[in-house]
Amino acid sequence: MKTFLKRSGWVALAGLMTVSPFAFATPTDDMGIGAEILAPLVLETQEDMNFGGIIPDAAGDTVTLSPAGVATAAAGSTFPNGDQQQGIFTLIGGNASAVTVTHDATVTLIRVGGSSTMAVSNFAYAATVGDLGAAAPGSVPVTLDATGNATIAMGADLAVGANQTAGVYTGTLALTAAYD
């Protein structure tokens, strides 16, 4: 096999020699290669969001949970237990990196053991570590701090229907973070 390759090489070289006497010079050039190495991005939920206990206005209501964890009602709903909790998640990645967190704009909560539903929407955000850009519900531009960390609190609106069936309602919001 080696012999064959060598012979083939000679044949090729002989052909080249007939074309140009400079064919022995190896043509070289530098090809630029660029790459940005990103630190692995980690998204972790620290606190689930809990609207807490609500005694709803019989006519229906919109309950707003702020990113600070404070619940307010547009109508007459009350919060007997004061057990509200804003959602909190953290990001770890490249120092001062720009990241966008995305999620569905609306989540449906379903009554445990039943079929009644409520909608959660109008998510609002606040950064306690890192910086927030102009966030829209479902799209959260975040700049990690100089050490590559961010902590984001989030609230939302809960639409309570008229004569909403009593019970515990739960739902899941899938968060995805990606470098810009």
Partner 1 sequence: MLDMQIPYSLICRRLVASLLVCLVSFGAHAASQDLQIGVRIFHPASLNVVDHLSFSTLAAHEATTFTLTPAGELLFSAHHALSAGMPRPARIRTQGAANTSYRINYPSTTLLTSAEGHTLLLHSITFEGGALRTFNAEGRDEVLVGAALDLATDQQPGFYSGSLVLTLSYE
User: Which residues of the chain form contacts with partner 1 (CB under 8 A)?
Assistant: 6, 9, 13, 26, 28, 30-31, 33, 35-45, 48-56, 58, 80-81, 87, 89, 91, 103, 107, 109, 118, 120, 154, 156, 158, 160, 164-179
Closest distance to partner 1 from the beta carbon of 146 (Å): 20
Amino acid type, 146: A
Take residue 25 and report the two structure tokens written for it. 């010079």
Distances (CA, A) of 126 to 90, 113, 129, 150: 12, 34, 9, 11
Neighbours of 176 (CB within 10 A): 9
Sign of the alpha-carbon torsion through 72, 75, 79, 84: negative
Q: Which is nearer to partner 1, 20 or 26 (by Cβ)?
A: 26
Question: To the nearest whole angstrom, how small is the minimum distance from the Cβ of residue 10 to partner 1?
Answer: 8
**d(Cα 86, Cα 169) in Å, to the nearest integer?**
16
The smaller minimum CB distance to partner 1, of residues 120 and 127, is found at 120
Measured CA to CA, the distance from residue 106 to residue 172 in angstroms comes to 10
Give whichever of 141 and 171 is closer to partner 1, judged by the CB atom: 171
Report in angstroms how near the CB of residue 24 gets to partner 1 at its nearest.
8
DSSP 8-state assignment for residue 25: S
Closer residue to partner 1 (CB): 13 or 70: 13
For partner 1, the closer CB: 42 or 136 = 42
Give the shortest CB-66-to-partner 1 separation in angstroms. Answer: 15
At closest approach, how far in Å is the CB of 127 from partner 1?
16
Query: CA 70, CA 85: separation in Å to the nearest integer?
Result: 8
